Amino acid sequence: MSKLKPWQQALCQIALALVALFVIVPIWEMFYLAFDGGVIGWPTSFRLWPQKFTMDVFAQVWSRPAQALSFLAALKNSLLVSSSAALLSVGLGASMAYAFARFRFPGREAGLFGLLLGTMLPPVALMTPLYILLTALHQRTTLLALVIVYTSFAMPFCIWNMRAAFQAVPRDLEESAFLDGAGPVETFARITLPLALPAIAVAALIAFLIAYSEFAMGWLFVQKSDDVTLAMALSGMLAGNNLSWSRMAALSVLMSAPVVAVFVLLQKYVLSGLLIGAPGE
């Protein structure tokens, strides 16, 4: 591979610096607004430092980000819904992903196409059928409804991602386990599943983020103020009469902390899972 010429290297560095600024500046602005007590309503000028540094905005958001909930109560709802959706998406999707990766059966190609179509559909396309289904089950206005809704959004991606990971596991390892007397379930649990764990961690993280950050569909299924999630509380600030960008920024910072913590915990598996490739069929 030939080396870049000096002017090409300079252009690459400039382009990378612009991309970095495009990513870093909005994040920095969010932090500066969260600590700026001098912003009333929306910001009217661009600044790099808070005009009036204060922690009062965080105290207000911690006390009551939504109308009737504290931050911890809304965080509990968000974590309950997001974690449940991630566990269901991975738990129910693993067996289906393994079946698509290892077995040949009638309707396999149609099933894979249906899952691929599910990953491309916008969430609003599922609004009406989910509304009717959950109303018939008398669960529409519960947190369980949110878990079911977000699981249906995340599962197609999880299945496709885990299917690629299961395909990357050599068949020889499974056949050796069969020869040693292991059954299909034991082989899957002790051989295939641990080797595909990085990709499963990626799928779980994506499912968690989908459920944690979604708010538009949530308002359709949540009616009680006690069931509001953090994403819904953040969107509710936009619809309120007393719009405060500082409060929105502070809530965004607090809301990001659990996501960063989850990523740090799964970092080793996530980075490994992103490098997994599936061999051709």
Once rounded to an integer, what is the mean pLDDT over residues 82-107?
Answer: 89
In angstroms, rounded to a whole number, what is the distance separating the alpha carbons of residues 238 and 245? Answer: 9
Q: State the pLDDT at residue 279.
A: 40
Q: Quickly state the pLDDT bin for 280 (edges 50, 70, 90).
A: very low
Q: Pick from 101, 93, 125, 113: which is nearest to 206 by CA?
A: 93
Q: What is the CATH number of the domain that holds 221?
A: 1.10.3720.10
Count the Cβ atoms, other than its own, within 10 Å of residue 152: 18
Asked if residue 1 is part of any domain, the answer here is no
Asked if residue 138 is part of any domain, the answer here is yes
In angstroms, rounded to a whole number, what is the distance separating the alpha carbons of residues 154 and 123? Answer: 10
What does the pLDDT look like over 121-165, one tens digit per residue?
887 788 888 889 888 888 888 889 999 999 988 998 899 888 888
Instruction: Provide the whole-model pTM.
Output: 0.81
Asked if residue 62 is part of any domain, the answer here is yes
In angstroms, rounded to a whole number, what is the distance separating the alpha carbons of residues 197 and 171? Answer: 17
Asked if residue 11 is part of any domain, the answer here is no
Total tally of structural domains belonging to the chain: 1
What does the pLDDT look like over 231-263, one tens digit per residue?
888 888 776 666 777 888 888 889 988 888 878
Mean pLDDT score across all residues of the chain? 82
Q: Pick from 1, 14, 34, 77: which is nearest to 245 by CA?
A: 34
Asked if residue 14 is part of any domain, the answer here is no
For the record, the structure tokens of 211 come out as: 């459920």
* Percent of the chain scoring above 70 in pLDDT: 88
In angstroms, rounded to a whole number, what is the distance separating the alpha carbons of residues 212 and 153? Answer: 12
User: Do 1 and 18 contact (CB within 8 A), yes or no?
Assistant: no
Q: Is pLDDT at 277 greater than 60 in this prediction?
A: no
Q: Pick from 75, 38, 79, 70: which is nearest to 57 by CA?
A: 38
Q: State the pLDDT at residue 269.
A: 67
The residue with tokens 């080797």 is 195
Asked if residue 244 is part of any domain, the answer here is yes
For residue 119, give the 3-state DSSP assignment. helix
Asked if residue 214 is part of any domain, the answer here is yes
Asked if residue 235 is part of any domain, the answer here is yes
The domain containing residue 104 runs over which residues? 35-40+51-273
Q: State the pLDDT at residue 79.
A: 92
For the record, the structure tokens of 108 come out as: 């396999």
